[in-house]
Structure 1
Amino acid sequence: MNSLVNKIKQLNLGKVKVNEPLANHTTIKIGGPADLFVEPSSIDNLEKVMDLVIEEQIPWRAIGRGSNLLVSDQGIEGVVIKLGAGIDHLEIKDQEITVGGGHSIVSLSTIMSKKGFSGLEFASGIPGSVGGAVYMNAGAHGSDISKILKKARILFEDGTISWLNNEEMEFSYRTSVLQKKKPGIVLEAVLILKEGEKSKIVGEMQKNKDYRKDTQPYNFPCAGSIFRNPLPNYAGKLIEVAGLKGYSMGGAKISEMHGNFIINAGNATAQDVLNLIQHVKSTIFELYEIHMETEVEIIGRK
């Protein structure tokens, strides 16, 4: 590991930290240390970091803005690569935009709405990165990334890079081929938007933001929706009817605003959250014989 640290520093590929607490990089403010934390300063430097990681045969994991993520208290073995500044470029050409995987999806939706482009209104309150949104086919308000993505440029775990078109991404509800078959990092995405009436688009964005503010606990550290909706049912409604809103274990608590959100109510551990997730699963199965599946991604040492 020391050899890798030295090489990354010598080549000036980006920020490097050893034993960096991932609680500093997740929206729920939970997570043990990464053996090595790297934030490459460009796509080229990210490719070079990956070449070194593969060469030294060290396990790796990519993250964006840390939403929809629960990192274990024991942290993550190997290298955590964060896509942030330097991988957040944006190029607009008519209705086609090319955007870096590290770009904030909320910020992107705001920029596009002000330019009179429609298609990203659903993302106005999603606190993640473009790369993360593509990776999990993020969505809300009846739409998702699959509706607007033309293609995505992926850096795969063997170091190869290629573009995958919409069909090749194999999108389905809150998932993609990157979760199911081909692990990789979304370097950039090409989205197709539509020109529309600016005031109408901005109004729709504001309505979506207000809805989230009124119904979801973003004034507390949280990871976003914890469970996938077991359609035609809705996770939040099932949890609410089961009387679990406000239920807590340790520092983790089911939000009183929305049943499908677990908040860090104060010094919560990943284990607290996992215990609460298991309690919800058991309760919902006992009451309704419905298996609840997590939407939040749970990673790290066991």
Structure 2
Amino acid sequence: MSNIGRILSEKFPNSQVLSNHPLADFTHTKTGGPADAIIFPKSVAELQAILAFSQTQQLPLTVLGNASNLIVKDGGIEGLVIFLTELTEITCQNNIISAQAGATIIHTSEFAQAHGLSGLEFASGIPGSVGGAVFMNAGAYGGESKDVIESVLAVSRDGQLKEYQKADLDFGYRHSIFQENQEIVVQANFRLTPNDKQIIQAKMDDLNYQRASKQPLEYPSCGSVFKRPVGHFTGKLVHDAGLQGYQVGGAQVSKKHAGFIVNVDHAKGSDYQKVITHVQDVVKEKFNVQLETEVRIIGRD
């Protein structure tokens, strides 16, 4: 075990700690080199203590949720990686669903349906965490996180708990304030609308059928790779550029949905990066449209 890992294990014995462990084991693309140390806090209080400790030790720090809309480079990540996947509590009171950051947004939408609350149906197939859904203002099929979020609890990098109201979150297309302020979402509160459980389930079933019929769910991927350019559809641009099936190493532009890059054969993070760059270059050359990545690309080369 690395020195960082040993110190963390001694100081936070309730949390699982891994040293020099490949992040490919946790990312949806199944790519990513090792992290110096990984820790999985089991409570917000423990997260606060870990953050305060890492700041006093001046540890490089990366905080991740479900690692779904993410590519980790082959060199892995320096310092400490905190995964929030143990923070999964979901509660319901007065038509408000409160979900911790590590809960999946799929499970949260199912919890809402079970309580006869509508508004999260759009998220019933999004593979990310609640924290990631807030961070990215995740959306699908005409709905976005900002449509139903009432407030958010976050923790600053030195461990201080803060509450934000919706108006303070600077939501935009795949954007929130947390992309700038470096604070960590620990809970989102969703204000939903009562409705018949069967009606809610029927809408979720329909959206999930549409997703399964159109998206390459049979392969590891990071979901939609690029943001939607104004006035265009990414998938159509990539398709019309003749790029479906383009492959570097094990990373391939999906033959089923041109907006996805899938891991068809033990792809590396560098394979993904090369495919992304090629797609951007060809689309720019053919259509004079600059595709911007929606997926986050992090780590050491």
TM-score by length of 2: 0.97
The whole-number CA distance in structure 2 between the counterparts of 1:231 and 1:207 is: 27
The whole-number CA distance in structure 1 between the counterparts of 2:4 and 2:130 is: 32
The whole-number CA distance in structure 2 between the counterparts of 1:10 and 1:230 is: 47
The whole-number CA distance in structure 2 between the counterparts of 1:245 and 1:263 is: 11
- How far did residue 12 of structure 1 move? 1.7
1:64 equivalent in alignment to 2:65? yes
- Deviation by residue 1:157-191 (Cα, 9 ceiling, x = unmatched): 23322111111110000111111x20121111111
The whole-number CA distance in structure 1 between the counterparts of 2:167 and 2:25 is: 35
- How far did residue 6 of structure 1 move? 2.2
1:229 equivalent in alignment to 2:208? no
Percent of pairs with identical residues: 37
Alignment-derived partner of residue 280 in structure 2: 281
Alignment-derived partner of residue 166 in structure 1: 166
- How far did residue 242 of structure 1 move? 1.2
Alignment-derived partner of residue 268 in structure 1: 267
- Deviation by residue 1:215-257 (Cα, 9 ceiling, x = unmatched): 1111101011000000221111111111111111111000011
- How far did residue 297 of structure 1 move? 0.3
Alignment-derived partner of residue 28 in structure 1: 29
Cα pair distance change 1:115/1:103, threshold 3 Å: same
- Deviation by residue 1:24-79 (Cα, 9 ceiling, x = unmatched): 01011000001000001111111111111011000111111110000000000010
Alignment-derived partner of residue 238 in structure 1: 237
- How far did residue 136 of structure 1 move? 0.5
AA partner of residue 166 (structure 1)? K
AA partner of residue 254 (structure 2)? S
Q: What is the correspondence of 1:64-103 to structure 2 with a 5 Å cutoff?
A: 64-85=65-86, 87-103=87-103
Alignment-derived partner of residue 192 in structure 1: 191
What number of residue pairs does the alignment pair up? Answer: 300
The whole-number CA distance in structure 1 between the counterparts of 2:297 and 2:79 is: 16
Please state whether the residue corresponding to 2:164 is helix, strand or coil. strand
Please state whether the residue corresponding to 1:28 is helix, strand or coil. coil
Alignment root-mean-square deviation, CA: 1.2
The whole-number CA distance in structure 1 between the counterparts of 2:4 and 2:213 is: 50
| Contact 1:4/1:52 (<8 A) preserved | no
Alignment-derived partner of residue 152 in structure 2: 152
The whole-number CA distance in structure 2 between the counterparts of 1:113 and 1:2 is: 46
The whole-number CA distance in structure 2 between the counterparts of 1:204 and 1:104 is: 19
- How far did residue 4 of structure 1 move? 6.2
Q: Which runs of 5 or more residues in structure 2 are unaligned? A: none
Q: Which runs of 5 or more residues in structure 1 are unaligned? A: none
**Which moved further from structure 2: 76-85 or 152-161?**
152-161
